[in-house]
Amino acid sequence: MSEKGCNCGCNCQENRAAQFADLAPVLEQYAKVPGSLITILQKTQDIYGYLSMDAINYISEMTGIKPAKIYGVATFYAQFRLKPVGKNLIMLCQGTACHVNGSEAIEEAISEHLAIKDGETTEDGIFTLNNVACLGCCSLAPVMMVKNADGDETYGNLTKDSVKKILDEIRERA
Amino acid sequence: MKVVIGQGSCGVATGAKKTAAEFERLIAEKNLDVAVDITGCVGTCYLEPIVDVYEDNGEMTRYVKVQPDKVEKIVEEHLVGGNAFAEQAISEEDKQFVEKQQRVVLRNCGVINPEDIEEYIAVDGYKAIEKVLKEMKPEEVIEEIKVSGLRGRGGAGFPTWFKWNACKASPGTEKYLVCNADEGDPGAFMDRSVLEGDPHSLIEGMIIGGYAMGATQGVIYCRAEYPLAIKRLEIAMAQAREKGFLGKDIFGSGFDFDIYIKAGAGAFVCGEETALIASLEGERGMPRLKPPFPAAKGFWQKPTDINNVETLANVPWIIYNGGAAFGAMGTEKSKGTKVFALAGKIKKGGLVEVPMGMTLREVLYGIGGGIKNDKEFKAVQMGGPSGGCIPASLIDTPVTYEDINKTGAIVGSGGMIVMDEDTCMVDMARYFLNFTRDESCGKCNYCRIGTKRMLEILERITEGKGKDGDIELLEELAMKIKDGSMCGLGQTAPNPVLTTIKYFRNEYEDHIYNKKCTAGSCKALVTYSINDDCKGCTLCSRHCPVDAISGSVKEKHVIDPEKCIKCGKCLDTCKFGAIDKK
């Protein structure tokens, strides 16, 4: 067993490496490069959709950075999620222009339509709703971006009705 | 012949990709000899998707709002028939939006293909860096920037030459030039447009800056919310490397410079230089004490210069055309042009680049076309969460760093959010405080706890529970937060509250003493009622979730205010405009 692993004589270390096999190339590239923690966490989230405690512990083992510090960084930045997300991540813009043009009403419409609040995931795991600061499409306010395995798509000039229609279409495709 | 489709994020959001696919399909189907190309954001976001058709002689026809179903007509009339399809072409009035501007930073946005370095080279791209490396000493470059009067376009407006000079003067051979592309102000998007539409001008600006201050490594700290910008930057950097503009011994001068991108992870405070550096080092983005300033001890404790995207994108133009040409635009202290992002309740939203010193009226009415639905202009918010609201009475203020500061707002990164009579100023203050409360890093007590306390007071006012003395309490807290915070976030967080109290105190008083929101925006203070236009169609009562509406068919209905939860469903469903919201 390595000095950082346990000494119980089991093969948990190898099991863990197998569990995080997808992460191996990322860690190989960045684990020893100073200042790369955020990049590692971003790539981990890209692969698994969120940062599990297991993943945080594993990254700690491989980089030598204490889990508490990784957790500190992960909770500091808005981008990182510690819970799994649905197949479609709705990033609803709450920037100033969107706010002025009624993004709160859009949020209410989504919440009502999908029965989830900001940060929650639908029971069927198809949608997660996240409020975000600004998507930079201010002239098309209110705006949302929907992220899924196919990439991300931005929808502008939303109304309470159009947003429901868009979500229904996505649900049909899922 | 060539068809060019604007594919910045706003274009894509309105369906530009589908439009492009439709063009490609029809061109292939009809076997036409027409190329389909992309470009960045033209800036006229309200007209997206935008399609430019170029004749072989260079003449261009611009089509606007080209949804996929409009493509066939354009293909038939123009590409096949050879006649412009006037119905879909841009109007003379809309042409003014661009023609009234003076474009330096946005000179190539919406003109060239951002994914093709040859197009950038064709518009004199990389000529400035060639001139610098072949003819100029670093101090001459800094002198040229000094002559231009260029000031930081990210917020504080600090003279760029001074920062470069400080970094150059710092001892050491390992220095960094960091580009802050973490456009955090919710409501500004000029940096995104430059990154997506003209990434090479930023790259060239960085190489010039690197040479001037003796830095060999550049870092672009870009928001993760801008995936398209990151993609285009990566393409541009790879092309520049291939051409030998990035890497070792650029233009045979012996000067080495390269750039890498670091994706930010979403923290407004990282706009603060030292917090940005902490984030680059993989830490929580918390500000550090200054001095030492980054120019002395920055990234990895090495001398570091940090400039914003728009600032750096100006640099190649300044070097190529001379600092004096840039300095000739604008006013004595605020030189050159500045890009503003028009959004909110404005008719023509988009990006506008004008010489500094133009009045707000000229920008908002002359170019932006005035207020949506011809409502009454109430205020314009400038500088985002660090800025303030400028009321309608000050609309003739010239847009310069000094004049805007005098109003209590700041030029900031150039976001202009326009508000009309339906926008509640207390709610705006609450919105910004909610933002800064969320984004405070938590290091300084006054910023961490003070913004929360201010937010609670503002929430209570907008909920109709405001108390006598709340305004004074807000003012007192605001001053203490300003004094008790280490970095710009806390020092400026109270600005939106202070400016709205300064110019719209009556609205605060209305909320607190009369329990009224004149803009009709604060839910708790609004009442719904049915007027005489009611036809008794019963639609509203069927949609009311709490059975608050009663009345028989074909008779006027009534809302029971005791039961009403102010959800607004009745207003949304009524087809006769019979619901009043006051």
Q: How much is the ipTM here?
A: 0.89
Task: Name the band, by pLDDT with cuts 50, 70 and 90, for residue B129.
Answer: very high
**CA B161 – CA B138 distance, rounded (Å):** 11
Number of other residues whose CB lies within 10 A of the CB of residue B464:
17
Residue A133 confidence (pLDDT): 85
Whether pLDDT at B448 is above 90: yes
Give B242: exposed, middle or buried? Use CB within 10 Å, 0-12, 13-18, 19+.
exposed
Whether pLDDT at B37 is above 70: yes
Residue A3 confidence (pLDDT): 45
> What percent of chain A lies above the pLDDT cut of 70?
95
For B286-333, how does the pLDDT look when each residue is reduced to its tens digit (9 = 90+)?
999 999 999 999 999 999 999 999 999 999 999 999 999 999 999 999
Residue B490 confidence (pLDDT): 96
- Copy the structure tokens of residue A155: 């929808």
Residue B206 confidence (pLDDT): 98
Residue A9 confidence (pLDDT): 67
Contact A77 B384 (CB under 8 A): no
**CA B564 – CA B50 distance, rounded (Å):** 45
Whether pLDDT at B476 is above 70: yes
Average pLDDT over residues B355-363: 96
Minimal Cα distance from B183: which residue of A? A136
**A41 near B CB under 8 A:** yes
**A38 near B CB under 8 A:** yes
For B406-418, how does the pLDDT look when each residue is reduced to its tens digit (9 = 90+)?
999 999 999 999 9
CB-CB neighbors (< 8 A) of B419 in chain A: 100
Task: Name the band, by pLDDT with cuts 50, 70 and 90, for residue A7.
Answer: low
Whether pLDDT at A2 is above 50: no
Average pLDDT over residues B8-19: 89
Average of per-residue pLDDT values in chain A: 90
C-alpha separations of A107 from B209, B274, B570 in Å: 44, 35, 18
Closest approach of A142 to chain B, Cα-based (Å): 10
Whether pLDDT at B70 is above 70: yes
Q: Establish how many alpha carbons lie within 13 A of residue B503's alpha carbon, considering only the half-sphere containing its beta carbon.
A: 23
Average pLDDT over residues B14-39: 94
For B506-561, how does the pLDDT look when each residue is reduced to its tens digit (9 = 90+)?
999 999 999 999 998 998 999 999 999 999 999 999 999 999 999 999 999 999 99
**CA B196 – CA B73 distance, rounded (Å):** 29
For A94-141, how does the pLDDT look when each residue is reduced to its tens digit (9 = 90+)?
999 999 999 999 999 999 999 999 999 999 999 999 999 888 888 889
Task: Name the band, by pLDDT with cuts 50, 70 and 90, for residue A5.
Answer: low
**CA A91 – CA A128 distance, rounded (Å):** 9
C-alpha separations of B224 from A75, A79, A135, B236, B383 in Å: 16, 8, 10, 18, 22
Q: Phi then psi for B37, rounded to 5 degrees?
A: -130, 170
Residue A6 confidence (pLDDT): 58
How far is C-alpha B203 from the geometric centre of its chain's CA atoms? 20
Closest CB from A78, A101, A156 relative to B13: A156
If you compute the radius of gyration of chain A from its CA atoms, what whole number of angstroms results?
A: 19
Task: Name the band, by pLDDT with cuts 50, 70 and 90, for residue B10.
Answer: confident
**A17 near B CB under 8 A:** no
The answer for A 68-107 residues in CB contact with B (under 8 A) is 72-73, 76-80, 91, 94-101, 105
Residue B401 confidence (pLDDT): 95
